[in-house]
Structure 1
């Protein structure tokens, strides 16, 4: 729970949680076409209550991403503890994607036409990014990953895999092919 949520009254926390749960469910069911009033109705709150918590759909998507980034950061911390640098990177990548696979609303927020408001979740994103950078540096230094691989490339791989998580596509095959391509020449 965020510091802001802790300062809220209990009923406000319940409303915020109900709105996020409803938005997550509706985005999962119908994608980005969901309207704010539908989310409010599913959450059992008025549109005004929704707007008191989230200025617009972009802020709502940012909150969904922010709540998932907490789980992603936990996955990254666990992967960072893996001693072998190559396995640490693999654990990070697969752990991130397995977590994303269970949350279609998160994937919509990251891949959809509405770019989340990253300012709203800057702290979570920064924590995650710092861990990713450390894991990448270890994997590169150990020769498990090519030396020109960056955190931006990590984003490309994860977005590509997430785009292949629908309609029975084999995102794991996608990732295995990409892992072959980013492996350092000496370890191929």
Structure 2
């Protein structure tokens, strides 16, 4: 929870959470076709209340991502504690994707046509990225992960896997194939 969220009154927090819950349901069902007035109606609130919390759809998408990033950051901290560098990387990657699998609205927010307003969740994104970078550096420094792997590659892998979480997409197979490609071929596994 961000500092601005903590400072909200209890009723304002409830309204904000109602909007996020309604938006999550609707985005998961209908994607980008959802309109702000539909979200307000589903939340049982007026459109003005929705706009007091979220200036536009990009701010709403960022808040959905922010809510999931709190969980993702906790997962990253747990992965950071795993002693084996490769196991830490796999723990982070699979934990992230398993969490995303259960959250269609998060996947839509990350992959959809509208770019979220990252400024609204910069601190959460930075914290997650810092932990991820440490896990990646540790795996590279011990020769378990190829040395040309970049932190941005983590996002590419997760987005590719999330794109395959619909229908019959087998994202775990996709990730296993990718891991075979990024594991340092000279590492003694």
Q: TM-score range by the shorter chain?
A: over 0.9
Partner of 1:105: 105
**TM norm structure 1:** 0.98
Deviation digits for residues 46-70 of structure 1 (CA, Å, limit 9, x no counterpart):
0010000000000000000111111
Q: Return the TM-score normalized by structure 2.
A: 0.97
Distance 2:57 2:83 in 1: 41
Q: Deviations over 1:4-57 (max 9, x none)?
A: 122112111111000000000111111111110100000000001000000000
Q: Which runs of 5+ in 2 are unaligned?
A: none
Matched residue, 2:3? 3
Where do residues 129-168 of structure 1 align in structure 2 (5 Å cutoff)?
Answer: 129-168=129-168
Instruction: Point out the more displaced range, 129-138 or 4-13.
Output: 4-13
Runs ≥4 in structure 1, deviation > 2 angstroms? none
- Give the aligned partner of residue 114 of structure 1: 114
Q: What is the alpha-carbon distance in structure 2 between the residues aligned to residue 82 and residue 119 of structure 1?
A: 31
Q: Which residue matches 2:82?
A: 82
Distance in 1 (alpha carbons) for counterparts of 2:85 and 2:6: 37
Cα-Cα RMSD: 0.9
SS of alignment partner, residue 185 of structure 1: coil
Once the two structures are superposed, the pairs formed by residues 27-38 of structure 1 within 5 Å of their partners are: 27-38=27-38
Q: How many residues align?
A: 188
Partner of 2:171: 171
1:118 offset after TM fit, Å? 0.7
